[in-house]
Amino acid sequence: MTWQPVTHQWPESAQTIQTSSESVLIQVNGVMDTAISKIKAIENKVTFARHPLSSDAESLLANRQQLEALLVQGQILCVHPYQHQVGSKNENGDHLSAPVAVQTLANKLIDVQDDYLPAGDLYVQGIMIAEQNISDFALHCQQLFNVLPIPELGIVARRSNQVLGQAQSQFIKPLPIMQPRFKPQAHVNVDPLRQVLQYQGGQVAQLESIAGDKQTPVQKLQALANKRNTQLSTWHDALNQLKNSDVAIYQFSATGKANVISTRLAQSSMPGHDHTYTFAALFISATPLTFLSELFA
């Protein structure tokens, strides 16, 4: 087989799909116009009323503003054993005791060399996991991450779980991979095939929608009502599942200037140096951290 010169031309496979799709789609406008004309003809004979709960729901629209108010602007300051110049390392792995973690956070709150040091009156909510062994530390970090997905906490959870698994594979040295490397299999989704999938995919989606139109309006309304009820039940159950989390941590809260909070933090009671696996984080904001303060009360 030799390399041969070729020129660009539109694929027959794509043209076939487009032609067959548009043989039906080109008729959609006419059909819709006919349906609208029929509805207008009986418009004065039918009464269309609002949803019976519409007024009650409208009176609760302020819940959206209350919900969004819980998302405050702020900063998250984390310390853990795997941070450079924070944790310590020996033959048994990476460590960070609870007192050292708290003192590190306290020192950082008065680090005037950091351009992003928070200023003014602050609300601070602190959380801490302090364990004496790596297995409990990995477990509790993962449990807390499932409830409070802080990126740094996710890193610590993965790293600590890797440490647990290293004992079984520490004597296995895999052969190096030759370069270049194969990438995982994926769709050959390159231009112009990307645009073909976008536009012709839209056409095919319309065909699928029209082909699936096998129900009367009453049946559709019934299906929609069932779908809404199912979704409401799903949201209700999901919220209750979040409420039932049994994550146990240490918490610290304070308000005031950064230097005042630093002093309070340094003087706070905490687990001892025997808790050598510690993750601690401070949530810092100029506005009240209502949700977090109530989440771990």
Average pLDDT over all residues of the chain: 85
Q: Do the beta carbons of residue 86 and residue 79 sit within 8 Å?
A: yes
Question: Which pLDDT does position 42 carry in this prediction?
Answer: 81
User: pLDDT value at position 20?
Assistant: 87
This prediction's pTM: 0.65
C-alpha dist (Å) from residue 178 to 123, 128, 168, 175: 53, 43, 25, 9
Cβ-contact 117, 237 below 8 angstroms: no
Examine the pLDDT at 186 and tell me if it is beyond 90.
no
H helices of the chain, in order, are 12-25, 28-41, 54-58, 62-69, 98-108, 134-147, 151-169, 193-211, 217-243, 258-266, 290-295
In percent, the amount of the chain with pLDDT more than 70 equals 93
Burial environment of residue 247 by CB neighbours within 10 A (0 to 12, 13 to 18, 19 or more): middle
pLDDT tens, residue by residue, 121-170? 999 999 999 999 898 999 999 988 988 889 999 999 999 988 887 755 66
**Residues paired with residue 279 on neighbouring β-strands, in sequence order:** 129
**Using CA atoms, how far apart are residues 195 and 179, in angstroms rounded to an integer?**
32
Closest CA to 274 of 97, 151, 54: 97
Name the packing angle between helices 193-211 and 12-25 (round to 10°). Answer: 30
Residue 38 pLDDT: 84
- Over residues 62-68, the mean pLDDT reads 86
Would you say 289 and 148 are in contact if contact means Cβ atoms under 8 Å apart?
no
pLDDT tens digits, one per residue of 194-203:
677 778 888 8
pLDDT of the residue at 187: 66
The pLDDT of residue 70 is: 83
The confidence score (pLDDT) of residue 183 equals 79
Domain ranges (residues) in the chain: 99-125+251-276, 132-164+240-248
